[in-house]
Amino acid sequence: MLSNNHNQTKVNRVFGKLTCWLLFFLIFKADVFAQRYLSDYDSTLFIKDTLRPLAKRFNNISFSGYIQPQFQVAQKKGTQTYEGGNFQEFADSRFMLRRARVKLDYAMPGKQGDFPAALFTFQIEATERDVNIRDVFVRVYEPTKHNASLTAGLFARPFGYEVNLSSSYRETPERGRMSQILMPSERDLGAMVSYESQKPERKQFQVKYDIGLFNGQGKSGPAEFDSYKDLISRLTIKPVTFSKHYTISGGLSFLHGGWVQTTKYRYEMGFKDGSDMFLIDSNTENLGGKAPCEYYGADMQLAYKHAWGKTEIRGEYWAGKQPGTATTTVNPGTVPTGPTYIRHFDGAFFYFLQNIINEKWEIMAKYDWYDPNTDVAGNSIGKAGTNMTAADVRYDTWGFGATHYFNANLKVLAYYSLAKNETTQLAGFTDDIKDNVFTFRIQMRF
């Protein structure tokens, strides 16, 4: 009898603790909508005295997240696409959980006012395909004016506008083909120094500057595979208002890096026997050397506010030099073992966004291209003896869609993507491949 009473007492204690945790989570979660990093909820509101000590321990922690279930239809079974990944061999339609993420932010209190001394962020993703870590980093602020900060860990590379625009805020279902090939997973391990004025009375014209050193392979591989690092920097011009209704912003980005060559064979574009082709360099000094990687980027965003809401135009252009293999220009996650191919590339993204009638309805059009080898085009690709492959084919992609925002946290999106490859002499690329995709998505965030 005494044993039963003792067990019951233990159960009651555990149940009581779980109840307190659940009540706290519900209260806390309901008040972190629209928060990003700093927790600004008041722990004394709607909390009984018994929960006040518990809440005080967590008033610098905030949770946020979003989920994106979707349905897609492709032009044919087994479509190879950058609209959420390739379709399986016998499938031309699918339900999928494109993204489902939860993020925790902890702001360590500082000595001056509400500005934190440091920030810790942890974000996890769980879908039907896998569970993985998206962000784990710490950001430490300069303690006096907070203008400078040091970030270290796994976080987004400071390159470009589209790469750094969160998937929960981006209007189109996916980033452009070039973003996904050159910046897979958008994140990398490294350290970054940033400068941005934090004065509340700061002037209208403001800039932010980031510069960091990164491993290079991002999340596409299990570990750093060489000693070469990527230097990445970005200068951002924050939105400037003019003529009352217009705002303009932009940025410049730069990347200098590369990865190790594991053979002495290196191919670069040249001209021989009347044709553009890859010419081989088999100098023994290439073995263990650096395959150079250089990107240059510029972007601009122009917005006009009106009675319906907003009209916005975005443009972004990248160009540079990308090492790869004979068959791909994707940044490698593991060390490449074959000959190295050096290509000059360029590409761009253009967005047109328009609210219709009110801010709850928005239509969009997007155009992007990625040319992995600007030194050759069309029927020159695939010509005998030129060493060209599908990795040298240019793609132009158009997208059209509409979004309905029920509120700030819930929206539905319908989008149709039309991808067009250039026609070449390569087998399989003598005509346009049927790889258009329709996407219907629901998104909820908190």
The overall average pLDDT reported for the chain is 88
pLDDT at position 251 over 70: yes
pLDDT-based confidence at 274, cuts 50/70/90?
confident
Q: Give pLDDT, residue 28.
A: 44
Alpha-helical runs (H) found in 112-185: 177-182
Q: Among 6-15, 37-46, 128-137, whose mean pLDDT is lowest?
A: 37-46
CA-based nearest residue to 270, from 282, 280, 285:
280
- Dihedral class, residue 327 (left if φ above 0, else alpha if ψ from -120 to 50, else beta): alpha
Q: What is the mean pLDDT of residues 301-320?
A: 97
Distance in angstroms (rounded) separating the CA atoms of residues 157 and 234: 9
Strand pairing category for 340-356 and 266-272? parallel
Q: Give pLDDT, residue 250.
A: 97
Helix (H, G, I), strand (E, B) or coil at 104: strand
At 99, list the tokens.
């993204």
Distance in angstroms (rounded) separating the CA atoms of residues 281 and 290: 14
- Pair 280, 265: CB distance under 8 Å: yes
CA-based nearest residue to 128, from 90, 100, 166:
100
Chain centre distance of CA 400: 21
DSSP state of 264: S
pLDDT at position 415 over 90: yes
Distance in angstroms (rounded) separating the CA atoms of residues 205 and 209: 14
- Pair 107, 139: CB distance under 8 Å: no
At 121, list the tokens.
């962020």
Q: Give pLDDT, residue 121.
A: 96
pLDDT at position 14 over 60: no
Distance in angstroms (rounded) separating the CA atoms of residues 365 and 312: 11
Q: Give pLDDT, residue 12.
A: 53
CA-based nearest residue to 349, from 315, 372, 320:
315
At 361, list the tokens.
């309805």
pLDDT-based confidence at 78, cuts 50/70/90?
very high
DSSP state of 32: -
CA atoms within a 13 Å half-sphere pointing along the CA-CB vector of 159? 28
pLDDT at position 204 over 80: no
| pLDDT tens per residue, range 381-399 | 999 999 999 999 999 999 9
Q: Give pLDDT, residue 32.
A: 39
At 420, list the tokens.
């067009």
Q: What is the mean pLDDT of residues 27-42?
A: 36
At 41, list the tokens.
């909820």
CA-based nearest residue to 161, from 66, 35, 302:
302
Q: Is 400 exposed, middle or buried (0-12, 13-18, 19+ CB in 10 A)?
A: middle
Q: Give pLDDT, residue 438.
A: 98
| pLDDT tens per residue, range 92-124 | 999 999 999 999 999 998 876 678 889 999 999
- Pair 70, 85: CB distance under 8 Å: no
Q: Give pLDDT, residue 13.
A: 57
Q: What is the mean pLDDT of residues 63-67?
A: 96
Percent of the chain scoring above 70 in pLDDT: 85
Percent of the chain scoring above 90 in pLDDT: 76
- Pair 303, 153: CB distance under 8 Å: no
Q: What is the mean pLDDT of residues 366-372?
A: 98
Q: Please state, as a whole number, how many other Cβ atoms lie within 10 Å of the Cβ of residue 22.
A: 10
DSSP string, 403-424: EEESSSSEEEEEEEEEEEEPP-
Distance in angstroms (rounded) separating the CA atoms of residues 93 and 43: 47
pLDDT-based confidence at 42, cuts 50/70/90?
very low
Q: What is the mean pLDDT of residues 37-47?
A: 33
pLDDT at position 6 over 60: no
Between 34 and 40, name the one with better pLDDT: 34
Distance in angstroms (rounded) separating the CA atoms of residues 238 and 440: 33
pLDDT-based confidence at 201, cuts 50/70/90?
low
Q: Give pLDDT, residue 56.
A: 56
Q: Give pLDDT, residue 193.
A: 98
Q: Angle at Cα 334 formed by Cα 333 and Cα 338, nearest 5°?
A: 120
DSSP-assigned beta bridge partners for residue 270: 277
Between 42 and 151, name the one with better pLDDT: 151
Q: Among 22-31, 303-312, 362-371, 437-446, whose mean pLDDT is lowest?
A: 22-31
Amino acid at 343: R
